Chain A
Amino acid sequence: MKSILTLLFIAGTTAHALAGAAMSPRQSSAIPVGNESLVRVNATAQAFDFFRPWAKKPPAMRRGLGPVVEDGFILVTAELVANHTYIELEKSGTAEKSPATVVAVDYDCNLALLQPTDPEFLASSRPLALDTGARVGDRAVILQLESNDDIAETPAAISTITVAPYPLERLALLTYRLSAPLANREGSFTMPVVRSGRLLGLLMRYDARTQTASLIPSPVIRHFLDDAKDPSQGGFPRAGVAFSSTRDPQFRNFIKLEENGGVYVNHVSPKSPADRAGLQKSDIILGVNDQPIDQDGNLDDPEFGKIPFSHLISTRSHPGDTLTFKIQRDGAVKTLPLTLGSDADDSTPTVSEAYLFDAQPRYNILGGLVFQELSRPYLQEWGTRWQTDAPQRLVYLDAYQEELPPETGKVVFLSQVLPSPDTLGFANLAHLVVKKINGIEIKSLEDVSRAAASPENGFHKITFEEDPGFILLDAKAAETGRDRLMQEYGIPAPDNLTPTK
């Protein structure tokens, strides 16, 4: 499934991810949304290089078409402004320009809000209202920038409404799928989808083979705009529960499930809202908020029809809201109140971050040994086939981090060795997970600095999980050789320990 989708949201790729039948643009008079509600956005982005965490990659420009929304902001996809260095707004129709700043960004829902630095820039604009209702079969129009700055319209119809993983895969949120023949155009990083002069959503990705577009729909946008107004809202909540379907009749008999619906709890993340509520592995979730859940985990939504019950949690709720779970445990039915929290409340730190934008990757250099913390963007530096091409031990730790003990912390690994007289013989060591340095357990890059302060008998002992077990480094030579090493390799600082969030 994943492999056939053209992911628009891959930092560093160009906007030319779209391909399909070319549409002949209509006259601008036919555009259902006026120029006063749309702004061209040109964003220059420069991502960090996770292989050389002290350096940036070449800058690249992306373009999109942002709708003006309430309070004089411009709504764009987060991918358009990820790792931005400069954002420029351009009025549709006139050449008037203004630089802009990002006032809010949420990579989980792939949305960002921009504000022009020129307060007069949007004076004559007309904000687009949200069209929050939608049903399968409804028609809409996708707006896209042409290379000559005209706006192309593509008619589309909603084919599915469901909850699906968003491009960064950390959250599954409400999604509309549209069938539409879209052409590959330059300004493809934000495309509004409108209906009768109102905003239905922003395009998230497009699969040229099936001509299916996925939409960040207006209910998700509404949630994001509310969060942006009140940062204490804390984003899109998660319950922290993994479940499986109970369609298999033999499995239903085994777990003594007599009711027609219900899903089986495979796993409850430690310290998550579900864990705090007392939900356990092998519980059967029968319903949420008095709505029964079917064997696949769907409930009947008054607005969207049959939809995965996580919609109630992620899109419909905010941190602090309480949901009532009806569960079956040991043959008895009971209810559990589950109070949602924000990511910040989740006291289990993430082992490997799913994404890192707008910040320099953390690293720590000790005598020519470069240490980094495992993250998915590091692995993604291996390219589109990173899951098979990147070091498999690290891919495994990232993929199955839920199974690691809760006290794991970060996975610190030796990412590379900068060859120098002090690291002679170590040049081939790479991608080794660090267990200890000088007897101190390593669970973050800060631990590396702390451990480096106390060498044993003048040597640093770096202990790895893998072969060769450990190496020893002359502490004094590492200290005295450091400036020369940094100069020779053009490294501006021996570490970057700025917290990522």
Chain B
Amino acid sequence: MLRFFAFLLCGLLGPTVLSAAVPTPSPKVADAMVRIQATSQSPNYRIPWNSGDVSGGVGAGFMIGKNRIMTNAHVVSNARFLAVSKEGDPQPYPARVLFIAHDCDLALLTVDDPKFFKDTVDLPFGGVPEIESSVSVYGYPIGGDRLSVTRGIVSRIDFQPYSHSGVDSHLTIQIDAAINPGNSGGPVLQDGRVVGVAFQGYSGNVAQNVGYMIPTPVVNRFLKDVEDGSYDKYVDLTISYHPLHNPGMRKALGLPDDDIGVFVGSVHNGGVSEGILQTGDVLLSIDGLPIASDGSVKIDEGNVEMAEVVERKFLGDSVALEILRDGKPSKVTIPLDHTWPFTLQANAYDEAPRYVVFGGLVFQPVDANFMSEHRPEDLRLRHVFDQFVAQGFYTDRSEIVTLSGVLADPVNAYAAPFRYQVVDTINGEKITRIDDVAAAFAKPSDYYAIQMLGLGRPLVLERKAVESARERIQQRYRLTSEENLKK
């Protein structure tokens, strides 16, 4: 549904021809604009020992000072080489990534050649624009090679999923200006200040004139997070909460008819709220802001999801909650931390696929990248992946490991029916991550009995059969390495 702009940049990589006779739009903004040509290499989760296909794309970026260029994370994800060029300067310069934040789709680049920043301007940031106010979008969308500007109004300010990671939701501003592939990473301006970074939209056959930008609260959070030299990612309460509209339920929980309070559903094991919150607690306020029964709080920018309060915090911060439990109010403070295990279900970038090959059997950990490339139909595998958090499977194993492929050879002639089953144990040792598979096969044993989840028979490999097949399989399948355990 949501489509990355960066994915649609094919065929626009021709040389930029500049002509002095053509007037450039809004000279000051044009002097801050950067056209980014990214050459990326996405890993191949079907042949994890291969280095992956190389592809190219074009996105936008803009200068924000201190020789830094802001763009979207998805423009420079998995990048092998980045070339940036300025409006009106034919020379492309090599660039490198300073910081990349996949959870909020933002990145900072720099160019080592100081010549690049000569005669450029830095764009200042503004606040959250008013609904219905007009904005201008700058970028390099399809339809030509040079800078393009489109205008529109602010349609909606809301919490929206960010499709780059697939699991994160942050504050988002919807605008009706035409945003097309190539606009990604470009600034959205109002009164000469950046009020957002264009990043995603709907494809034309789903909705018309719906474009999204990352607003300045999210951008500022990212800039503040990297001030200490590293990006620490978002933090979370690791709970689920639900609106409290039902009059009977409000009465039962001892709440007045004042439309305040949300209901705590799941408190995830191992998360920061475990032992502090419990299912059935009512959250009344967060950092002193009353929480409405639909989960919204009123802040400067208007009514936003209460999660926005947590969103603006950093690793090591804490949040103060007023709660009602068994009819009694109390105050709790929760120190915030990362959102594991949800990250298993997020699209990952700049990571090498991990795998172990033994006797031609390929074992891989199951994550979002794996699922989107393999698209396994196995019901159990889909179930443990989808319900990894909801059913608490992560408390049992930190990773799901599956037999993802069989490099056909006499040694594994009967292994094909086991494909996409979930590995439970090897020689009785529980497999909780891919490293356990490597460790189990490293232990000397005459037989390796691989038991999958469910009621089936074990898959058995004889050590001597595996050893005699080893070289043959490596050569036949161009297996450059039998394992990779590093991300």
Contact = CB atoms under 8 A, between A and B. Distances in A.
Interface string B455-466: 111111110010
Interface stretch (A5-13, A148-156, A322-330, A389-397): A389-397
B207 interface: no
30 contacts: A244-B456, A250-B411, A250-B414, A250-B447, A250-B462, A251-B457, A251-B458, A253-B447, A253-B462, A254-B458, A266-B455, A267-B455, A387-B379, A396-B383, A400-B380, A403-B454, A424-B247, A425-B245, A457-B252, A467-B240, A468-B242, A468-B263, A469-B265, A470-B280, A473-B246, A473-B249, A474-B247, A474-B248, A474-B252, A478-B248
Contacts of B279: 468-470
Contacts of B379: 387, 392, 395-396, 399
A423 B383 CA distance: 30
Give the 10 A-B CB pairs with smallest separation, nearest first: A474-B248, A425-B245, A468-B265, A248-B414, A469-B279, A472-B252, A425-B246, A267-B455, A459-B252, A254-B460
B52 interface: no
Interface string A132-146: 000000000000000
Interface of A: 242, 244, 247-248, 250-251, 253-254, 264, 266-267, 387-388, 392-393, 395-396, 399-400, 402-403, 421-426, 457-459, 461, 466-474, 477-478
Nearest to B279: A469
Contacts of B280: 469-470
Which size bracket describes the interface of B in this complex? Answer: 35 or more
B251 A474 contact: yes
Contacts of A469: 264-266, 279-280
B449 interface: yes
Contacts of A266: 455-457
A248 B244 contact: no
A457 B249 CA distance: 12
A461 to B, nearest CB: 8
Given A402-B455, A425-B245, A467 B253 contact: no
B456 to A, nearest CB: 6
B455 A250 contact: no
Interface of A is mostly: mixed
Contact of B413 (A248, A264, A477): A248
Nearest to B411: A250
Interface in B225-273: 240, 242-249, 251-253, 263-266
Contacts of B320: none
Contacts of A470: 279-280
Given A399-B379, A470-B280, A473-B249, A244 B462 contact: no
B467 interface: no
B382 interface: yes
Contacts of B390: 466-467
Contacts of B387: 392-393
Contact of B455 (A242, A467, A474, A477): A242
A470 B249 CA distance: 10
Contacts of B456: 244, 266
Contacts of B244: 425
A387 B380 CA distance: 12
B301 interface: no
